[in-house]
A and B are shown apart, each in its own frame.
Chain A
Amino acid sequence: MQELEKLLDRIIQRANINLREIPYDATPVIKGLVPLSKMEKFYAFYGISNYHPLDLQFRHSNLAGSYFLGKCRVSNSILYKSDIRGDELKKKGDVFKFQNFEIPMTRDEGFDIEDSFLIKTLVHNFSHDPETLERFFIKDTLSTHYANIHGAPSDGCFLGPFATVDLTTMRDCIIGAFSYVQAGEIGHMNIQPGTVWVRSPGVFNFLYRYDLDRLGDYITFEPGSIPKGVFMEVAEACKEDFQGIYDRVHLEHPISVPDSTSVDRYAVIKPKTHIDENVLVAQRAFVQNSWLGKGANAQENCYIINSRLTGNNVTAHGAKILDAELGQQVFVGFNSFVNGRPETKLQIGEKSIIMPHTIIDSPEPLIIPPGHLVWGLITKPADILTNSIALSELAAVKDKLTIGDMFFEGSGAAFVEAFEHRIDHILEANGAFFDGTRNRGHAQFNQNISFNTLQPYSEGELKGLYPTIMIKP
C-alpha cells in the first residue's frame, strides 16, 4: 500500500475513534470520495504578501490544489483543493475581548491542522475560543465538499458537504450536509442535514430545520458517492473556467478594476462584468455578467452570475447569486442559494439579511422587501410569509417567536444588533469603507499577493505526499 493511502486510512480511523459514541463510521462515506490519483495530480500554492505573516510548515501531508496564506502548520493530513486563508488570524499584540477578559496575544495566531482530511473546504477567520486563541486547531477532522470552517477550531468532527461551522469550537460532532452552526461551543452532537442554528447562550437562539425531502433536490450526500444536487451542478458548470486559471502561469483578467479593488489571481471573472471601487473578489470566486458596486465582495466559492449587487454587499463564503438584483448593503450568508430567473430577476431590498444557508429559488417573480431577515426554503412568493420577518419587527421580540418551521427564543433586538454589527465588521475587514487613506481592508491588502507553487513526489512509495517543507520570510 502506498504511503498516501495509509495516511488516508489513518485519518479516517482517528475521526472514527472520536465519533464512536455517536456512533458514526465515516469509512464508507470518505473512502473513494476523492480518488488517490486526483490527490497526486494537483499542485499546492501559497501567497506571499507584506501584510500577512509568512510561516508555513508542511509535514507528511498531501496538499493537492490547496491554497495557503499566513501562518499554518499541516501534519499527517490531506488537504484537497482547500483554502487555508490566514488573513484574519490574530497578530501578536492584538487584544481579544471575551466577557470581562481582555486577553493579549503573545504571538501570531496560526492554523494547526493535524490528522485531518479536508475536501474543497474553506478555513478562515480566527479562533474565537478563549482557551486557544493563538492556535486555531483542526484535528482528527473530516470535512467534505464546500464546507466552511470559519473561526471554528475542530477536534474529532465530520462535516458534510456545504456544512458551515462559524465562530464555534466543536468536539466529536457530526455536522450534516448544508447545516450551519454558530453556537459558541458544541460537543458530541449529531446535527442533522439542513439545520440552521445560531445561538448566543442566554441571549438568543434561532433554529430552522429543512424538510429533508425538499432539500434533497439541492444537496444529497450518500455513502459511496460524491454529493449531488443543484449546488454541485452550479459548481460543475463553472469547473472548466477554473481549470484555465490553474493551468496558466500568467493570467490577465478580462476587465480592468480600480486601484482600491482586489481581484484574486485564482478568481474567474467572465466578460460583461463591472467591478467598482473597494471590491474584494477572493480566490475560487466566479463572477459573470454581473455588476459589483462599490464595497461589494465575493468570497471563496461564490458564484455571482447575471446579477447586480448595488454596493456594500456581502456575499459570504460559498454563496451563489444567480439572476438577482440586490439593493445596497444586502447580506447573503454562507452557502446561500439565491436564484432568480433571467426573465424575472429576483429582487432583494436594501439592508435585507439573507441568513446563512438560505435557499431562494422561485420560478415566479419574487421580491424581498428592504430591511428583512430571510431564512429557509423559499420556492414561491407565498413562502416569504413563513420565511422572513422585518428586522424592526424581530427587534421588538422580547422572549419568543415562531414562524413556519423557525423557532426563536430570547432578545430579537440582540439578534438583529449582532447581525448588523457583524455585517458592518465584515465590510470594514474587506476594505469596503476605504477612503483612499484610511480603513484599508482585504480589498486593499490582498492586491499584490505573489504565489508560489509546491509539488508532491511524482512516483514511488511517497507518491502524492509533499516533502517536509518549512517556509519563512
Chain B
Amino acid sequence: MNYDVKDLMVPISEYATVSIGTTLFEAVLALEEAQLNFDRSKYHHRAILVMDENNQVVGKLSQLNVLQALGGETDSQQVDKVSRLGDFGFSPQFVSSMEARQRFAGRSFKDICAAPANLKVENFMKATSAGEYVDENTPLETVIPQFISGHHLSLLVTRKDGEIIGILRLSDVFAAVFHMMEEGQKNQ
C-alpha cells in the first residue's frame, strides 16, 4: 500500500490552534482540548498552531518552545551568554547546568512553571519557514528526507492554491513506517 501526505495528515480543524495575543496558559489549554476531541490516533498533538488576524498560520508553538519560556523573564543577554559556552568547547551538561542556574536560581519548580503562564505565544512560537510546507499529494516516502534534514516534528500540509489544510505529524509518519515494517516481516 502506498501513502500520500493527505492520507496521514490531521485536518487543521482537528488540530490545536490559537490566535496571536493568546497567553501560554490558554495555548496549553487549547492543546488539551484539541487532544480530548481527537481520537483517531493514540499519538498526542505536540504543537499548537498560531494564527494571525486573517486566520493564516504564522507560527508553531512546540513543547520545546513552552519549555524555553520557563525562566524567560530573566535577562536574555545573560542567558544567551551562558548558552554560547558550547561554542568554546564546554560540555552540553556543563552548559545546561549553567543555563539552568542563570534562568532558575533560587526558585521553586512551581514558581518556575507558573511564571510564564501569562506571557504571549508570539514571543515563544517559531515562525513557519519554507522547509515546513508540503503538498497534500506528495508521496509519503518523498517527504521523509524533509523530516530528517529539518529535524521537524510536523509539517504544514497545503493544497495546490497554497492554503494550509492540515498537519503531517512525525508520529503518524513513524506509525505508517512501522506498520509497513511489520507487514514486511509477516510476508517473509
Contacts and interface: CB of A to CB of B under 8 A. Distances in A.
Interface stretch (B60-68, B83-91, B129-137, B177-185): B83-91
A400 B97 CA distance: 10
Interface in B43-94: 81, 85, 87-91, 94
A207 B88 contact: yes
A402 B87 contact: no
A205 B89 contact: yes
B87 A189 contact: yes
A199 interface: yes
B89 A199 contact: yes
Contacts of A400: 94, 97
A209 interface: yes
Interface in B146-168: none
A183 interface: yes
A409 B87 contact: no
Interface in A179-214: 183, 189, 197, 199, 201, 205, 207, 209
B91 A209 contact: no
Contacts of B81: 209
A407 interface: yes
A63 B98 CA distance: 48
Contacts of B101: 402
Q: Is the interface of A mostly helix, strand, loop or mixed?
A: strand
Q: Is the interface of B mostly helix, strand, loop or mixed?
A: helix
A402 B88 contact: no
Interface string A381-411: 0000000000000000000101000010100
B85 A207 contact: yes
B84 to A, nearest CB: 9
Interface residues of A, number: 12
Best-surrounded residue of A201, A205, A409 (most CB of chain B within 10 A)? A409
A407 B85 contact: yes
Contacts of A407: 85, 90, 94, 98
A207 B88 CA distance: 8
A213 to B, nearest CB: 12
B105 to A, nearest CB: 12
Contacts of A207: 85, 88, 90
Contacts of A201: 89
A212 to B, nearest CB: 11
A402 B98 contact: yes
Best-surrounded residue of A197, A201, A209, A407 (most CB of chain B within 10 A)? A407
B38 to A, nearest CB: 44
Interface in B82-117: 85, 87-91, 94, 97-98, 101
Contacts of A199: 88-89
Contacts of A209: 81
B90 A205 contact: yes
A78 to B, nearest CB: 32
Best-surrounded residue of B89, B90, B98 (most CB of chain A within 10 A)? B89
B80 to A, nearest CB: 12
Nearest to A207: B88
Contacts of A402: 98, 101
Contacts of B88: 183, 197, 199, 205, 207
A402 B87 CA distance: 17
A400 B91 CA distance: 11
Nearest to B78: A405
Contacts of A197: 88
A255 to B, nearest CB: 45
Nearest to A197: B88
A421 B94 CA distance: 27
Interface in A329-388: none
B135 to A, nearest CB: 34
Contacts of A409: 90-91, 94
B126 to A, nearest CB: 25
Ranked 9 nearest A-B pairs via Cβ: A409-B94, A207-B88, A199-B89, A409-B90, A205-B89, A205-B90, A197-B88, A400-B94, A407-B85
Given A201-B89, A407-B90, 15 more contacts: A183-B89, A189-B87, A199-B88, A199-B89, A205-B89, A205-B90, A207-B85, A207-B88, A209-B81, A400-B97, A402-B101, A407-B85, A407-B98, A409-B90, A409-B94
11 contacts: A183-B88, A183-B89, A205-B89, A205-B90, A207-B85, A207-B88, A207-B90, A209-B81, A407-B90, A409-B90, A409-B91
Interface of B: 81, 85, 87-91, 94, 97-98, 101
